[in-house]
Amino acid sequence: MTTRSESVDLLVGEQRIAGTFLAPDTQMPGLLFVHGWGGSQERDLKRARGIAGLGCVCLTFDMRGHAATLWQQQWVTREDNLRDIAVAYDLLARHPAIDRDGIAVVGSSYGGYLAAILTTLRPVKWLALRVPALYRDAEWTRPKRELDRDDLQLYRREPVSPEDNRALAACARFRGDVLIVESEHDNLVPHATIMSYRGAFVRAHSLTHRIIDGADHALSGETCQQAYTAILVNWVGEMVIGARVGNTAWGHALHG
């Protein structure tokens, strides 16, 4: 476990002698959960509770256009939701128990896409992307709901390079640890999109890629949900908690 040290003077009669206090570093890693389009923080809450038990401060939230603000969905843009995520990140970073140099972001689908872009705006040490979606850079300020779905499906089936996409460009610059989780039978985020993300992380400290067999995009079915939870909790334990106890071997062991 990492420790903090503080030099002190001990007064013995008229003489001072040197001493050093050593104490555990009480600052904890922080995890920000970002749900997908049409989702909410509800499923994230279940996983966050388990991860908080490992010694992390977790924050879940509902982006605008979802849950209580569903009525706004018709005009919410990617720019709007990216601002939501940045505000949520800043709230997490201000938590008094947080180690600001140890923040992870966990994003699903649309939330994974925006989480990747967030790494260019805020310091992120660990990045977990479940079935991260991909969108063209054009029409950034157009309401998300109005984007051409058929065009997006064609776009996602072809290899995309970091030079041609803002999210992938962010991935190419990211130097932290990465988890990518793919669903075997995903009708919205095909394997080609996952490989575009995977290929973009050329500077990542480590890259872990897991495929949930039999899973669809939404992880329908309790078995698939449990599989993803197990993958995420194990990765958090290895990366986030491993770093907290000073074990730097985790990232190198999982590089690939």
18-55: per-residue pLDDT in tens? 877 776 667 889 999 999 999 999 989 989 998 998 88
Q: Which of 83, 194, 192 is nearest to 130 (CA)?
A: 194
pLDDT tens, residue by residue, 41-99: 998 998 999 899 888 999 999 999 999 999 999 999 999 999 999 999 999 999 988 99
CA distances (Å), origin 240, targets 94, 122, 208, 229: 19, 18, 14, 15
User: How is domain 27-253 classified at the architecture level of CATH?
Assistant: 3-Layer(aba) Sandwich (3.40)
- 0.85 exceeded by the pTM? yes
pLDDT band at 251 (very low <50, low <70, confident <90, very high): very low
Map residue 252 onto helix, strand or coil.
helix
CA–CA dist 232, 227 (Å, integer): 9
Question: Among residues of the chain, what percentage have pLDDT more than 90?
Answer: 76
| pLDDT band at residue 232 using 50, 70 and 90 as cut-offs | very high
Please tell me whether residue 25 adopts helix, strand or coil conformation.
coil
Determine the average pLDDT of the residues in 237-250: 64
Asked whether the beta carbons of 108 and 88 are under 8 A apart, the reply is: no
Give the model confidence (pLDDT) of 168-192 as tens digits. 999 999 999 999 999 999 999 999 9
CA–CA distance, 198 with 5 (Å, rounded to integer):
40
Give the confidence band of 256 by pLDDT, cuts at 50, 70, 90. very low
**Per-residue pLDDT averaged across 143-162, rounded?**
97
- The whole-number pLDDT of residue 14 equals 84
Give the tens place of pLDDT for each residue, 132-141: 999 999 999 9
Which pLDDT belongs to residue 24?
A: 63
User: Token match 């394997």: residue?
Assistant: 191
Please give the angle made by the CA atoms of 183, 189 and 190, to the nearest 5 degrees: 80
Give, to the nearest 10 degrees, the angle between helix 78-93 and helix 110-118: 60
What does the DSSP assignment read for 219-239?
A: --SHHHHHHHHHHHHHHHIII
